């Protein structure tokens, strides 16, 4: 544990290191619960940091496009910045406007990515872990109910970073927690990710309108640039003239995972051919947002002076579907008193 900087209100943020003898390492700050570094070996054993981010606290406070952050109370977009629950309409801040259409994104103006979490080093299954806690008060960012959240990051014996989420509430409220890590398996700052090979265990996705809000359809990926049921590079079809790619500026969509029983199941495999690094994503969630860094523009200086250009990182945000709170045909995101929200995601690395 070490100091990571001081917030404008004088509170100190800290950086925690989880490390294995192989060198596999995760560095996480209690500000936003953000993954700052992920050191992963390639096929020769050479370590590289595969997570985009910053060397110090200040850019996470001011300029971060959610690099490595915990996302909530509700991740992804809510149409029009409002929802109705138990007969009452709750207005939310509109913090995003794709296609000029305002929506609520990633929890609002001060989402969980901008919170200083309570942190405690721990262990899980004999591996190093970090336990984070936060209590979101009733009415924060417009959401009803006091929500008590615990997130545990832990390393796994098979070179994975596991994230376990739990939450309870005293009033019915929507909850959809995720992590927004940007990956580049060649190493953060080492070019674009268009040559990464992606497989998604998903035969359907949720098409969106020009505001990137799902239409409600669960559409088959077959015959479209969204079919990653077999490996394709990110760049192979991203430039095709397809309405959905135009709306997202590339891939920025939710895939409906084939696994439907809530068990921890393989959702995605990504391979970077030059280094041989492989990322497998396992999750209990029904969906994953695959985002290809379409809004990175090479204007934000990252770690070690690197500048992250257009499409220099990708995200696989495990989640319930966007705008679920307004779409009754989607799996529900409503948590009620007496229930416990539980979700697990594992980012597992190897090389070949």
Phi, psi of 108 (to 5 degrees): 110, -160
Token duo for residue 256: 């409906």
Catalytic hit among 196, 272, 317, 320: 317
Dist. CA 230–CA 20, nearest whole Å: 32
Q: Which of 27, 106, 141, 180 is catalytic?
A: 180
Structure tokens at 229: 């049921």
CA distances from 336 to 86, 144, 147, 273, 322 (A): 11, 11, 10, 45, 19
Match 């257009």 to its residue by tokens.
Answer: 310
Give the contacts of 290 (CB within 8 A, at least 6 positions apart): 198, 200, 228, 251, 252, 253, 255, 268, 314, 315, 316
Torsion angle in degrees (nearest 10) through CA of 331, 111, 194, 38: -110
**Exposure string (b/e) for 228-249, b if CB count within 10 Å is 16 or more?**
beeebebeebbeeeeebbebbb
Rounded distance between C-alpha atoms, residue 86 and residue 165, angstroms = 25
Report DSSP letters for 36-97, one per residue: EEEEEE-TTS-EEE-B---SSHHHHHHT-SSTT-EE-SB-SEEETTEEEETTEEEE----B-
Has 180 been annotated as catalytic? Answer: yes
CA distances from 193 to 56, 176, 261, 271 (A): 24, 27, 32, 10
Q: Which residues are catalytic?
A: 180, 317
């Amino acid at each position: 544990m070490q100091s990571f900087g001081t917030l404008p209100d004088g509170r100190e943020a800290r950086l925690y290191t989880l490390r294995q003898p192989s060198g596999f390492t995760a560095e996480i700050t209690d500000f936003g619960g953000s993954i700052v570094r992920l050191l992963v070996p390639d096929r020769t054993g050479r370590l590289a940091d595969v997570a985009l981010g910053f060397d110090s606290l200040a850019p996470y406070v001011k300029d971060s496009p959610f690099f490595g952050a915990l996302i909530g109370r509700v991740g992804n977009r809510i149409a029009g910045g409002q929802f109705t629950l138990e007969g009452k309409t709750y207005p939310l801040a509109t913090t995003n406007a794709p296609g000029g259409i305002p929506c609520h994104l990633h929890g609002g103006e001060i989402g969980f990515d901008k919170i200083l979490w309570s942190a405690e080093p721990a262990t899980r299954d004999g591996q190093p872990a970090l336990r984070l806690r936060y209590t979101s008060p009733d009415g924060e960012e417009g959401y009803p109910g006091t929500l008590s959240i615990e997130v545990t990051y832990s390393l796994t014996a098979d070179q994975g970073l596991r994230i376990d989420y739990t939450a309870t509430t005293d009033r019915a409220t929507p909850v959809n927690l995720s992590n927004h890590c940007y990956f580049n398996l060649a190493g953060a700052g080492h070019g674009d990710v268009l040559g990464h090979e992606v497989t998604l265990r998903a035969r359907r996705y949720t098409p969106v309108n020009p505001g990137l809000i799902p239409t409600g359809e669960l559409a088959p990926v077959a015959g479209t640039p969204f079919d990653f049921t077999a490996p394709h590079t990110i760049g192979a079809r991203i430039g095709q003239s397809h309405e959905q790619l135009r709306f997202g500026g590339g891939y920025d969509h939710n895939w409906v995972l084939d696994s439907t029983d809530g068990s921890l199941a393989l959702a995605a495999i990504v391979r970077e051919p030059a280094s041989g690094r492989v990322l497998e994503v396992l999750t209990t969630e029904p969906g994953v947002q695959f985002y290809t860094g379409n809004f990175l523009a090479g204007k934000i200086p990252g770690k070690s002076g690197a500048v992250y250009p257009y499409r220099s990182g990708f995200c696989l945000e495990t989640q319930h579907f966007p705008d679920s709170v307004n779409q009754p045909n989607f799996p529900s995101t409503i948590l009620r008193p007496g229930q416990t929200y539980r979700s697990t995601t594992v980012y597992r690395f190897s090389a070949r």
